[in-house]
Amino acid sequence: MMFIAALLLTMAAPVFDLDPGAMDAYLHDLQARESDFGKRLIVVARDSLGTPYADGPLGEGPDAPYDKDPLMDLKRVDCVTFIEQSIALAASHSYQEAYDSLQKIRYKDGVIAFDHRNHFMEADWVVNNRFCRDVSSKLKTATVDATRTIGRKKLFETCKAPELGANIHDQVLTITYVPGAEARKAAKRLPNPALILLIGKTDWLFVLHCALFVREADGRPMLYQASSTEGKVVATEFAAPFEKSNRYLGFTAYAIGKPF
């Protein structure tokens, strides 16, 4: 009875308030009651609402030469780490398993090093995380092809690690994206859940923001995202970022499979 009571208390707490022991109970219960990975991911996203926002909260640990932030921190997220940690949690049975899974998601070949991190969402992250499948051209909407040069040297210079970019070449990349004006139409055919990468106007990269698409039980298309403006993880209407701002040109969309 004491264990059941403790578990119920755990379920009532948001994800960012759970310590590793409580997270073990949370994930054990989630795996037991929901066999579908996508549905577990939606539960984790909802249970993460309100998580405080922090820019770049994760790094390679206190002994790392370039980024000494922790390898996992559920108490604060940015848009990318919210996606990564939500997927890791939904795929795992325990805090330790989620921690280990997170490193495979964040780093190419699971090698924990700044220059192995999946820095660019379009050029690195979705390429190295093959459990995500591009569905941008399958939503029966208009699409746009765009080509840019991914500024890998500029990234390492900006991060004060120019030596890491000394022998690396910038990458020309072409993507197909859905224009923002097509967001409401596209939402009707998006997988539930889906990874959404919001395309900006910056020359040396494509993605300015990322979020999880969730279709609610009442049919509403929503974006679950770590918002710097709101200062926390929030759920907003899917088309809102494109209709209320000219910051984004459109988006690419990915079905999310079970990662491991």
Work out the average pLDDT over 185-199: 98
Pairwise CA distance, residues 141 & 147, whole Å: 20
Average pLDDT, rounded, for the chain: 94
**CA triple 235-255-223, angle to 5 deg:** 10
Query: Could you tell me the pTM of the whole model?
Result: 0.94
Q: 8 pLDDT exceeds 70?
A: no
Of all helices (H) and strands (E), which one includes residue 24?
Answer: helix 20-33
What was the pLDDT predicted at 13?
Answer: 75
User: Which band of pLDDT confidence, cut at 50, 70 and 90, is reported for residue 18?
Assistant: very high
The per-residue pLDDT for 152 is: 92
Segment 71-82 shows an average pLDDT of 98
Report the alpha-carbon distance of residue 230 to residue 199 in Å, rounded: 20
Give the pLDDT of residue 12. 56
Residue 3: pLDDT over 80: no
Where are the strands (E) in the chain, listed by range? Answer: 132-134, 144-150, 171-179, 194-199, 207-215, 221-227, 232-237, 250-256
CA distance 90 to 41: 5
The structural domains of the chain, ordered by start, are 2-256 (2.30.260.10)
What sign does the CA torsion over 174, 58, 116, 96 have?
Answer: negative
pLDDT band at 35; cut points 50, 70, 90: very high
